[in-house]
C-alpha cells in the first residue's frame, strides 16, 4: 500500500524502509513529529503477516509516541521502528547491529529504545554502531543493579492510572477486592499484576505463553482464563497489556468491565471506538497517557538518574488522566478525543 494514501498516515515526517541481505533484516522506521524534540520510540520485532501489516503498525505506533511524549510533558517527538521477524527464532546479534546501522542513517531524527520483541541487550548491540539509542543505564547505574529496562516504570505508571480511574469511576481510594482482568503477561503485564496483587485486587489473567499465566497463578493467586474469554468477564477493570487494536465493533459489545485501563498501545481499532466505549458507559484511560511510564523513564536515564524524580513524574499520569476524565464529562466528548486535543495543544504550538 502506498504510504501517503495509507489510512494511518498522519503527516509523518519520514517513513524509511531498510534491508540488510547478510543479516536478513527487513525493517521500517517512521518519524511522526519532531516539533518538541527528537522522535523517540521503541523497536518492535514481530512476525508480521505482510509488509502492509508492518507499515500499519509503525505508522500507528509512531503517531502514538508523539502524543504520548506531549501529554507526558516531555521535550520529545514521536518515532517508532519495526522489524519483520519472529524474535524467538530470527533474532541474532548481527540483525540487531544491522538495525542499529539503519537507525544511524537517520542522523538522530529517531532515537531507538526497546519494545515488544526486543530488550536492553538488543539495544546495547545497536549502540555498538549508533549513538542514537535510549533507555540504557550508565556504568554507575549498572553497578547499582539497574539495566535501563523501562518496564518497571511503565507498569507503575499503569497502576497509578488504574488508581486514578477507580477513584473517578467508583469514588474509592483503595483497590482491595477490585476485580481486574489482565490481557498479556509480558514484562509490563506481569509487573502490573504484582502491583495490583499487593494492593489487594483480584486477578484474572491470560497470555499466549502458558508459563507466564502459570507464574501469575502461582505468585498472585490469579485465575487463568482463555484468550477469547478475557474481555467478556464480569470485572471492574479490563487491562489490555498485549498488542493493540483489540477494541473494535466485535469486542466492545462483549465488555462488562466499567473501566478499560492497560499498557497496550493503540487499543482502539479505529478512532470511532472511543465514542463507542463512552456510549456504553465504559471509562477509557487513553493508552498513550496511561502507558507513558516507559518513555518518562527513558527520558531521565543516564548520568544523574534519580528514581524519586522519575516516580514524581509518573504520579502526574494520574493527575493528567483525572483532568481528561473531568474534561470529557464537562464537554460530553470521549476521553480519547480529549487526550488528543490536549496533546495537540502542546506539540502543534
Q: Would you place residue 141 in the very low, low, confident or very high pLDDT band (cuts 50, 70, 90)? A: low
Domain CATH number, residue 35? 3.40.50.10860
Same domain, 232 and 268: yes
Contact 82, 48 (CB under 8 A): yes
What is the per-residue pLDDT across 312-343, written as a single tens digit (0 to 9) for each?
999 999 999 999 999 999 999 999 999 999 99
Predicted pLDDT of residue 303: 77
Position with higher pLDDT, 303 vs 143: 303
| Confidence (pLDDT) at 139 | 59
Total domain count for the chain? 2
The single residue listed with the C-alpha cell 489487594 is 200
8 A C-beta contact, residue 239 and residue 158 = yes
Q: For residue 271, what is its C-alpha cell? A: 478512532
Catalytic one among 38, 80, 91, 329?
80
Report the helix count and the strand count for the chain, using DSSP H and E.
Answer: 12, 11
Q: Residue 190: give the domain boundaries.
A: 151-347
Residue 68 lies in a domain: no
144 lies in a domain?
Answer: no
Q: pLDDT tens-digit profile of 161-183?
A: 999 999 999 999 999 999 999 99
Note if 223 is an active site residue.
no
C-alpha 268/C-alpha 284 separation (Å) is 10
312 and 263 in one domain?
yes
What is residue 140's predicted lDDT score, i.e. its pLDDT? 60
Using the predicted structure, report yes or no on whether residue 29 has a pLDDT greater than 60. Answer: yes
Query: In a 3-state reduction of DSSP, which class is residue 273?
Result: helix
> pTM for this structure?
0.88
Please, what is the average pLDDT of the chain? 94
pLDDT at 215: 98
140 belongs to a structural domain: no
Nearest CA to 285 out of 238, 321, 246, 236 is that of: 321
Indicate whether 237 and 340 sit together in one domain: yes
Q: How many angstroms separate the CA atoms of 295 and 36, rounded?
A: 14
Instruction: Return the CATH number at 155.
Output: 3.40.50.720
Assess if residue 145 is contained within a domain.
no
Find how far residue 175's CA is from the centre of its chain. Answer: 23
Amino acid at each position: 500500500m502506498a504510504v501517503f494514501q495509507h489510512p494511518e498516515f498522519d503527516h509523518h515526517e519520514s517513513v524509511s524502509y531498510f534491508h540488510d541481505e547478510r543479516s536478513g533484516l527487513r525493517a521500517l522506521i517512521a518519524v511522526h513529529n519532531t516539533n518538541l524534540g527528537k522522535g523517540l520510540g521503541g523497536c518492535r520485532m514481530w512476525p508480521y503477516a505482510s509488509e502492509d501489516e508492518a507499515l500499519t503498525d509503525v505508522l500507528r505506533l509512531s503517531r502514538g509516541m508523539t502524543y504520548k511524549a506531549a501529554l507526558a510533558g516531555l521535550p520529545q517527538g514521536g518515532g517508532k521502528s519495526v522489524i519483520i521477524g519472529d524474535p524467538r527464532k530470527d533474532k541474532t546479534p548481527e540483525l540487531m547491529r544491522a538495525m542499529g546501522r539503519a537507525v544511524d542513517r537517520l542522523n538522530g531524527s529517531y532515537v531507538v529504545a526497546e519494545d515488544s520483541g526486543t530488550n536492553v541487550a538488543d539495544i546495547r548491540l545497536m549502540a555498538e554502531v549508533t549513538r542514537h539509542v535510549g533507555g540504557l543505564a550508565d556504568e554507575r547505574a549498572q553497578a547499582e543493579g539497574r539495566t535501563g529496562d523501562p518496564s518497571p516504570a511503565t507498569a507503575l505508571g499503569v497502576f497509578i492510572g488504574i488508581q486514578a480511574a477507580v477513584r473517578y469511576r467508583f469514588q474509592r481510594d483503595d483497590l482491595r477486592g477490585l476485580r481486574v482482568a489482565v490481557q498479556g503477561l509480558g514484562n509490563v503485564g506481569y509487573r502490573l499484576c504484582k502491583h495490583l496483587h499487593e494492593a489487594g485486587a483480584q486477578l484474572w489473567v491470560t497470555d499466549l505463553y502458558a508459563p507466564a499465566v502459570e507464574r501469575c497463578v502461582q505468585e498472585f493467586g490469579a485465575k487463568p482464563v482463555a484468550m477469547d474469554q478475557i474481555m467478556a468477564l464480569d470485572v471492574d477493570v479490563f487491562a489490555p497489556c498485549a498488542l493493540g487494536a483489540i477494541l473494535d465493533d466485535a469486542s466492545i459489545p462483549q465488555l462488562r468491565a466499567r473501566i478499560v485501563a492497560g499498557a497496550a498501545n493503540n487499543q482502539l481499532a479505529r478512532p470511532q471506538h472511543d465514542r463507542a466505549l463512552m456510549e456504553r458507559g465504559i471509562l477509557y484511560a487513553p493508552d498513550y497517557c496511561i502507558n507513558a511510564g516507559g518513555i518518562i523513564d527513558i527520558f531521565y536515564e543516564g548520568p544523574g538518574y534519580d528514581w524519586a524524580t522519575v516516580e514524581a513524574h509518573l504520579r502526574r499520569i494520574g493527575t493528567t488522566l483525572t483532568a481528561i476524565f473531568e474534561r470529557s464529562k464537562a464537554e460530553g466528548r470521549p476521553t480519547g478525543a480529549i487526550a488528543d486535543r490536549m496533546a495537540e495543544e502542546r506539540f502543534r504550538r
